[in-house]
Structure 1
Amino acid sequence: MTVENRSTSVLTPLWERQLPTVAQPVDVMTLLVEIPPGGRGLPPHKHSGPVFGYMIEGEMLFELEGEPERVIKAGEAFFEPGGDVIHYQDANNLPDTASRFVVVMHMVPGQPMLTYVDDDELQARRDRRAPRPQ
């Protein structure tokens, strides 16, 4: 990314991705998510559209269907494709510090921003989950 410097502002690309196809029109919501120290985050869920996020402070244990769990640290960006992909984990990875992140969610109008996944669906799709660390 090249930006002509006409001020003292510094533009630092954190992450770039081609936007997947989303329904038209699309609703967009920006959320601040705060997870208390050692908090487990939300239960497994899905989003109707893609989600772009930025970790403000702390660390999050992050896991999407088909991908190994990983730690996202303050200053890092992340992405969820949405649709039929299950988001398994968004736990605070730190036992003594709160974690905060911002997400920009693209949503199908009239659908909720997230839908929880029930035990039957988790069981039916267990083969799609990446192997768990030992």
Structure 2
Amino acid sequence: METMKMGNNELVLLGTVMPPELPEGSHVMTATIELPPGDPGSPPHRHSGPVFGYMLTGEMIFELEGEPERAVKAGESFWEPGGDVIHYQAANNLPDQKSKFVVVMVCAPDQEMLVFVSPEELEQRKGRRAPRPN
């Protein structure tokens, strides 16, 4: 993280990425998502466009196709490219408290914001998933 002074205010830079080109008809959604204690989150899915997120409270296990799962803690940011990449996990890593995060999702024109991945496709792409921790 990087901190910058802007007059009397302090700006804490949580992360940067190059913005995608947005096709005509795209839209952007901002939402908060709250996971109950120990919740496994949604099943494997993909988003039609990039997703930028920030953990407000708690801790989440986050896993994208080709990357090892990692814990994202309150005050940390995360992102996923969207498109063909499978989002395997966004699970509450805490058994005794809620976790909450905010996401900004870029949605491609005429496509659903979230599409679940079939068991058949998961089987076909299993070689793309990073090794699971023991």
Q: TM range, normalised to the smaller chain?
A: over 0.9
Mapped pair 1:86 → 2:86: yes
Checking the alignment, whether the CA contact within 8 Å between 1:42 and 1:89 is kept in structure 2 is: yes
Give the structure 2 partner of residue 24 of structure 1.
24
**Distance (whole Å) between structure 1 residues aligned to residue 116 and residue 31 of structure 2:** 18
Q: How well do the aligned residues superpose, as a CA RMSD in angstroms?
A: 1.6
**Distance (whole Å) between structure 1 residues aligned to residue 42 and residue 3 of structure 2:** 38
Residue 22 of structure 1, CA deviation: 4.2
Alpha-carbon spacing, 1:110–1:59, altered in 2? closer, same or farther (3 Å) = same
**Distance (whole Å) between structure 1 residues aligned to residue 55 and residue 88 of structure 2:** 18
Gaps of 5+ in 2: none
Percent of aligned positions that are identical:
58
Number of residues of Structure 1 aligned to a counterpart in Structure 2: 133
More strand by share: 2
Alpha-carbon spacing, 1:102–1:2, altered in 2? closer, same or farther (3 Å) = closer
Checking the alignment, whether the CA contact within 8 Å between 2:52 and 2:103 is kept in structure 1 is: yes
Q: SS of the residue aligned with 1:12? A: strand
TM-score, normalised with respect to structure 1? 0.93
Residue 10 of structure 1, CA deviation: 1.5
Moved more, 10-19 or 123-132: 10-19
Q: What whole-Å deviation, never above 9, does each CA across 1:33-67 have from its counterpart, x for those lacking one?
A: 00000001000000000000000000000000000
Give the structure 1 partner of residue 51 of structure 2.
51
Gaps of 5+ in 1: none
**Distance (whole Å) between structure 2 residues aligned to residue 82 and residue 71 of structure 1:** 20
Alpha-carbon spacing, 1:133–1:24, altered in 2? closer, same or farther (3 Å) = same
